[in-house]
Amino acid sequence: MKLNENNLKIAIQKSGRLTEPTIELLQRSGFEFEAYGRQLFATCRNFPLEFLFLRDDDIPEYVQDGVCALGIVGSNVIEEKGAQVKRLERLGFGKCRLSLAVPVAEKVKDLTWLKGKMIATTYPKILRRFLEETGISASILEVNGSVEIAPTLAMAEAICDLVSTGTTLRMNGLCVLETIMESEAELIGCPSLLNESKNKLIVERFLMRIRGVLVARRNKYVMMNAPATALDDIRAVLPGLKSPTVVPLADSDMIAVHSVVPEDRFWEVIERLKQVGASGILVLPIEKMIL
């Protein structure tokens, strides 16, 4: 297999927390490719795109330098690397927090405890900025991995690391003292390559497909029956994405109403629909949604 130089390149994490959801998003967006094992790249069968599997820490620089036009990586890595990339889209997965954590046994109450202490991290840049902003003078021990073990080994008194479920902290007798940043997977692009006329159209087509899936994931398709007299109340409850579809039923006093409801307001909307007389409410996932 050979890399096609004319194709757009997208960098994705080779193995880690973002790998599986990234591949899932791309495949659901209609890009067909094989992603198995140890290979470094894959070619898309139905779009002029090459996938490069890289270490997440390398992705911002590869995109900044134009080795890849696009990349998918966590906000935490983008911030730490300080790369000059265009942040195109938040992807809604790989959510975690970059937090300061301390031993539970120390019963630490506030940030001032950190004064004069040593903090181990793989995110020295973000941590330094935070310490400067909060005026806390602590030392930073830069490590490459297994940060959570540093307090046990007496290499540091605190750590600054990613927390997702919190299991790693708990297993090491640590707890969160403060969250420095929220992170999720983001789509980034190389500013100069995105502007090249030969890439523009294809990047736009790529974005439309990805966004079609992202928007669909954030919404549900809702169908319900209701007395025709309840239509005004139902319209008032439905969030105004689009005018709802109203279909007459065999029973002329009744109508069916179809609409799209955002996931984050979903239960609130359903409860209010029931209150104004809707019944037989059906909720369907949306495969794709192009605005």
Per CB under 5 A, residues contacting Zn ion are 56-57
C-alpha–C-alpha distance, residues 166 and 145, integer Å: 17
Looking only at residues 197 through 236 of this chain, which bind ligand PRP when binding is defined by CB under 6 A?
none
- CB 143, min distance to ligand PRP, A: 10
Q: Which of 114, 104, 91 is nearest to 17 (CA)?
A: 91
17 binds ligand PRP (CB under 6 A): yes
Which does residue 17 touch among ligand PRP, Zn ion, none (CB within 5 to 8 A, set by kind)?
Answer: ligand PRP
Taking CB under 6 A as the criterion, the residue among 58, 157, 161, 186 binding ligand PRP is: 161
Closer residue to ligand PRP in complex, CB, 161/186: 161
> What residues between 46 and 65 interact with ligand PRP by CB under 6 A?
56
Cβ proximity to ligand PRP: between 24 and 196 the closer is: 24
Residue of 275, 255, 264 whose CA lies nearest to 220 = 264
List 5, 37, 38, 167, residue binding ligand PRP (CB under 6 A): 167
HSE-CB for 276 with a 13 A CA cutoff: 19
Distance CA 224, CA 236 (A): 15
Nearest alpha carbon to residue 183 among 16, 10, 18, 11: 18
Q: Tokens 């980034």 sit at which residue?
A: 188
Pairing assessment for the beta strands 185-189 and 219-227 based on DSSP bridges: unpaired
Binding test (CB under 6 A) with ligand PRP, winner from 25, 108, 126, 162:
162
Instruction: Using CB under 6 A, list all residues that contact ligand PRP.
Output: 16-17, 56, 145, 147, 161-168
